[in-house]
Structure 1
Amino acid sequence: MHSDREAVRLLKGCNWDLNVALNVFYESRPQSDNRQHISVDGTMRLCEDLEIDPTQLEFLIISYYLGSERMGEFERDRFVQGCMKLQCDTLEKLRASIPFLKNNLHNHDNFRDLYCYAFLFGRQTGQKNMSLEAAIELWRLLLGDQYSMLGIWIQFLEENHGKAISRDTWNLFYEFISQPNLDLTKYDAEGAWPILIDEFVQYCLDKGVTGSTS
């Protein structure tokens, strides 16, 4: 479905039934993509059609809205449901929706939802935790332009942690770093933050870092 004209022709031939049209579309794809599943190869073609880079934020956004549970792969039902929610029945409409979806991330709740999803997106299949390398890349992608303390957090993890990142650590770090007027000199070590955050705060203070400059 590479153009509006082709999409309309396909939809018209299927009596304007999006589900039927998508069935026909998937059946016409090469065997590497079957009716129920879009593989990594198919996803790369989708990125080309949408004119997005699979290493950039736009791909993470599309993966989130189209229900991808594994990086670079989509299940048909979730993909269809996502397209229907976005009211996108052509690739052109899906492509055109990306700036709007990206702009929605200025809303804190929308961004937090995408951030939490990124942990599921970044895990390898069957793994409970996310590799430190994958977590660092996703942190840089999601938070690099917003939080000045991200660099020292990554430095701390590489020097003192060196392990895979749990879901709790992933989620709680965002809650920690996104606090308004974060002042590490007032940090309560007896609070509800995990030990890793306690250690990070002490690491920062030892290096003379007392808060975020974002």
Structure 2
Amino acid sequence: MSFIRNSSQDDKTKLLMDFTNTSQKEAQRLLRHSNWDVNSALNLYYEQASTKKPSNKPKASSSQTKAIQEIFNKYEDPDKKGWITVDGTMELCQDLGIDPTQLDFLLLSYHLGSKHMGEFSRQEFVEACLSLHCDSVAKLKHALTNDFQNNLKDVNYFRNIYNYAFLFGRQTGQKNLALDAAVELWKLLLAGRYDRLDQWITFLEEKHRKAISRDTWTLFLDFATQPNFDIDTHDAEGAWPILIDEFVEYLKNTSSNNISNSISSNST
């Protein structure tokens, strides 16, 4: 999307507002902090959004706080105080009856404020459980299997989970998301939601074979959920990442090849 770098500040502000549905003032603030680079501002917007708490810090009784602290203590890494790490996370998943490779774990991590896969800090864990009114593993399991899953029907909630997944899946210190991680996350999030998902994954594995940028990850959801999509009317001059435009060309070529093969088969 090289046109972004050549556009004026007003154009960049409007573009960011369109992407994020934020105010002009907020868009300009993000751009200023990102040296007027739209992609960096977009990253900053979603990184800040992913760490925002759904409500003000809850008031809780000392007994609730103590109960949550005790939950954390059960899973805390004895060699890394203040953190639940991989072993404790696996034990927590077992007690919750969930598979750490499935969507439930992504939802749990989002609500408990995990910044890195398989790790939870004490402060964020306790504050999240207080906000969720979950002072026992049983209550946390109920919220996970009922509230969180039901919330996926809400478009805005789903987008928050989707955007969080990019941050969650990245390796520490990496800007982009490894292709294999992106593929697994897309399977978790978009299976049953996007009927061309298998073609998208095949295209990436055959033609791209590189890490996925934040820009591509974010805008692919808009691409995949647009109503009445038609490959013949796709606007290649629009604000789509180049990789998505290349995918549309791949679909066109695949469709043409299928028609040609069908004609050849019928003629014989």
Q: TM-score, normalised by structure 1?
A: 0.85
Answer 1 or 2: which has greater helix percent. Answer: 2
In the alignment, the residues of structure 2 paired with residue 129 and residue 79 of structure 1 have an alpha-carbon distance, to the nearest angstrom, of 26
Structure 1 residue 66 and structure 2 residue 103: aligned?
Answer: no
Structure 1 residue 158 and structure 2 residue 205: aligned?
Answer: yes
Which amino acid in structure 2 is aligned with residue 83 of structure 1?
Answer: C
Alpha-carbon distance change, 61 to 29 in structure 1, aligned in 2, over 3 angstroms: closer
Structure 1 residue 94 and structure 2 residue 140: aligned?
Answer: yes
Structure 1 residue 139 and structure 2 residue 193: aligned?
Answer: no
8 A contact 1:67–1:79 mirrored in 2: yes
Alpha-carbon distance change, 78 to 30 in structure 1, aligned in 2, over 3 angstroms: closer
In the alignment, the residues of structure 2 paired with residue 69 and residue 31 of structure 1 have an alpha-carbon distance, to the nearest angstrom, of 17
Of 126, 133, 149, which residue of structure 2 is paired with 1:80? 126
Which residue does 2:249 correspond to in 1?
202
Offset from partner CA, 1:66-100 (integer Å, 9 cap, x none): 00111111111111111111111110000011122
Unaligned runs of 5+ in 2: 1-60, 257-268
Structure 1 residue 49 and structure 2 residue 95: aligned?
Answer: yes
Which amino acid in structure 1 is aligned with residue 158 of structure 2?
Answer: F
In the alignment, the residues of structure 2 paired with residue 72 and residue 151 of structure 1 have an alpha-carbon distance, to the nearest angstrom, of 28
In the alignment, the residues of structure 2 paired with residue 78 and residue 203 of structure 1 have an alpha-carbon distance, to the nearest angstrom, of 44
In the alignment, the residues of structure 1 paired with residue 255 and residue 115 of structure 2 have an alpha-carbon distance, to the nearest angstrom, of 40
Q: CA deviation at 1:17?
A: 3.6
Which residue does 2:39 correspond to in 1?
none
Of 106, 112, 115, which residue of structure 1 is paired with 2:159? 112
- Bigger Cα displacement from structure 2, 152-161 vs 32-41: 32-41
8 A contact 1:23–1:35 mirrored in 2: no
Which amino acid in structure 2 is aligned with residue 137 of structure 1?
Answer: E
In the alignment, the residues of structure 1 paired with residue 216 and residue 98 of structure 2 have an alpha-carbon distance, to the nearest angstrom, of 30
Q: CA deviation at 1:32?
A: 3.4
Of 113, 119, 130, which residue of structure 1 is paired with 2:177? 130
Alpha-carbon distance change, 119 to 29 in structure 1, aligned in 2, over 3 angstroms: closer
Offset from partner CA, 1:41-87 (integer Å, 9 cap, x none): 00001001111111111111010000011111111111111111111
The alignment partner of 2:250 has SS state of helix
Which amino acid in structure 2 is aligned with residue 124 of structure 1?
Answer: Q
Which amino acid in structure 1 is aligned with residue 96 of structure 2?
Answer: L
8 A contact 1:26–1:34 mirrored in 2: no
In the alignment, the residues of structure 2 paired with residue 116 and residue 68 of structure 1 have an alpha-carbon distance, to the nearest angstrom, of 14
Of 141, 161, 168, which residue of structure 2 is paired with 1:121? 168
Which residue does 1:8 correspond to in 2?
none
8 A contact 1:32–1:42 mirrored in 2: no
Alpha-carbon distance change, 20 to 154 in structure 1, aligned in 2, over 3 angstroms: same
8 A contact 1:53–1:59 mirrored in 2: yes
Q: TM-score, normalised by structure 2?
A: 0.69
Offset from partner CA, 1:83-140 (integer Å, 9 cap, x none): 1111111100000111221111011111110000000110111111111000000100
Alpha-carbon distance change, 20 to 34 in structure 1, aligned in 2, over 3 angstroms: farther
Give the paired residue count.
195
Which amino acid in structure 1 is aligned with residue 93 of structure 2?
Answer: C
In the alignment, the residues of structure 2 paired with residue 29 and residue 169 of structure 1 have an alpha-carbon distance, to the nearest angstrom, of 36
In the alignment, the residues of structure 2 paired with residue 44 and residue 28 of structure 1 have an alpha-carbon distance, to the nearest angstrom, of 12
Q: CA deviation at 1:203?
A: 0.5
Which amino acid in structure 2 is aligned with residue 196 of structure 1?
Answer: L
Structure 1 residue 172 and structure 2 residue 219: aligned?
Answer: yes
